[in-house]
Every structure is written in structure tokens, then in C-alpha cells.
Structure 1
Amino acid sequence: MTSIAKELLKKSGYTIIRDSNKPKNLFELLNVFPNYGVGLKVAPDHWAKKGILESYYEITKVAPKLKDINHGKVFGIKVWKGKILYEGKPMRISGTLKWNWHRWPIMKKRISLNDNS
């Protein structure tokens, strides 16, 4: 993207879609998908760093704030080590802004296990 286009987007108030290799919070990951990614399977990268590769959330509902689409509430069904928790009832996902998130399945080569961030 040219610098002129970036400046115009900044002035217009639209969110610039960031480089796909850059770590993303959950809202940055979901807001590029139709219907805010409902139906996607996602996981925070710190689970993969700990070797927990068969755990994820399946997104069921996203409620972004009207003024800022990078904040709000996300709900999903939690699968932990291959088992569905809470009888499959959607729960609010915590750490949406705190952790770096990826689509599931997370490949070990995509996540540097030596990364200390």
C-alpha cells in the first residue's frame, strides 16, 4: 500500500488491515472475516507455546463496541485438550486484547516456541 493511500485511510478513520504476520488480538483477527468470524476456531498463541495444541474456541457471537471495533465481547465454545467444556454452552472469551490469537489449528512452525513475548 502506498504512503498516500495510508495517509488517506488514517484521515478517513477506517482501520488499516495490518500485515498478516504481525501478532493480532482477537478483534484484529476476527474483523476481517464475514460476520466477524462466527464459526471460526481460534486459539491464543501461548497455548501452543505450552504444547497445548488440541485446544481452541469456536466463535459463536461477537459484539463489537459501536465506536471502536477493536473492543467488545466475544463468545465461544471452549474445547480443552479435545474435550468440549461447559456442556457446549458458549461462554465469554477472556484475554481478547491481552493475547496474540491465531486460527486453529496452530502449527508449531508458525509459533516460535522460544519467543518470550
Structure 2
Amino acid sequence: FRRSTNNVRSFAVAASGEISPPATDGAKPKRRRKKNLFEVVQFLPKWGIGYHMAKSHWKGVSYEITKINLYKDGKHGKAWGIAHKDGVAAADAPKKISGVHKRCWKYIPNVKRALTA
């Protein structure tokens, strides 16, 4: 079933025959893109080694970053860390952190750093 272009144009044109520009007053503000782990740690000293990071939906759980293997573009790679629950280490040995490329990471500022600068 085809419609002629005249029929489609009649729907697109305003009642007065003039096309009005779209209103920008009610436009939604652009949502800020969340960051993956590497975009969060790139501005921290030593690429965040020794700092605590967590996914935004985790409650009381974080990772203390111990090692980062960064790819050339600076936004991808692999990371290892020690899991912490309520500020206490949940494991002795570091393990590979899963989901480092997902866009939901945040820096946890109030946890004491184990490694000193």
C-alpha cells in the first residue's frame, strides 16, 4: 500500500501552511555518559593503583586496584584487584576484575588506601 508524496506532505505541513521550527524550550538535557573503569582511573595517580573503585549499583563492595594492563587507546584493558566488603578485604590475593568495560564505575573516596604514594 503506497501513499503519494502529496498526501505525506499534507500531514507534515502546519495548518497555516508554514513549517514551524521545533521548540527547544522543553527539550530534555543531554544525559552524561557513564564511565568505564579506565575512564575513571585515568586522572588518578598511577592510574588508580591502590585506590578503591566500585560499580555504581554495588552496596558496600569495592575493589582495591593492584594492577592494570592498559591497551594503547587508554580506554580498554584488563584490571586486577582485591575485593573489599564493608571496607575489609574479602580475599588475600588479587583477582581479575570482571566488567571493567561496562559503563557504571565510580571512585570510592572515603576508603583508606593500603598502598602509600
**TM-score (normalizing by structure 2):** 0.59
Take 1:43 and 1:92, find their aligned partners in 2: how far apart are those partners? 14
| 8 A contact 1:45–1:99 mirrored in 2 | no
- Secondary structure class of the residue paired with 2:38: helix
Take 1:105 and 1:30, find their aligned partners in 2: how far apart are those partners? 12
Take 2:82 and 2:99, find their aligned partners in 1: how far apart are those partners? 15
Would you say 1:58 and 2:59 are equivalent positions? no
Aligned match of 1:98 in 90, 94, 102? 102
Shift of the alpha carbon at 1:81?
4.0
Shift of the alpha carbon at 1:85?
2.3
Q: How much is the aligned-residue C-alpha RMSD, in angstroms?
A: 2.0
Instruction: Name the structure with the higher helix share.
Output: 1
How many residue pairs get aligned? The number is 79
Take 1:82 and 1:27, find their aligned partners in 2: how far apart are those partners? 22
Change (3 A) 1:37 1:82: closer
1:24 corresponds to: 35
- Secondary structure class of the residue paired with 1:32: coil
Q: Give matches, 1:1-117, under 5 Å.
A: 22-47=33-58, 52=59, 54-65=60-71, 67-86=72-91, 88-104=92-108
Shift of the alpha carbon at 1:68?
1.7
Gaps of 5+ in 1: 1-20, 107-117
List structure 1 segments (4+ residues) > 6 angstroms apart after TM superposition: none
Take 2:86 and 2:47, find their aligned partners in 1: how far apart are those partners? 25
Answer with 1 or 2: which has the greater Rg: 2
Shift of the alpha carbon at 1:35?
1.2
Take 2:85 and 2:57, find their aligned partners in 1: how far apart are those partners? 14
Q: Report the identity percentage.
A: 39
**TM-score (normalizing by structure 1):** 0.59
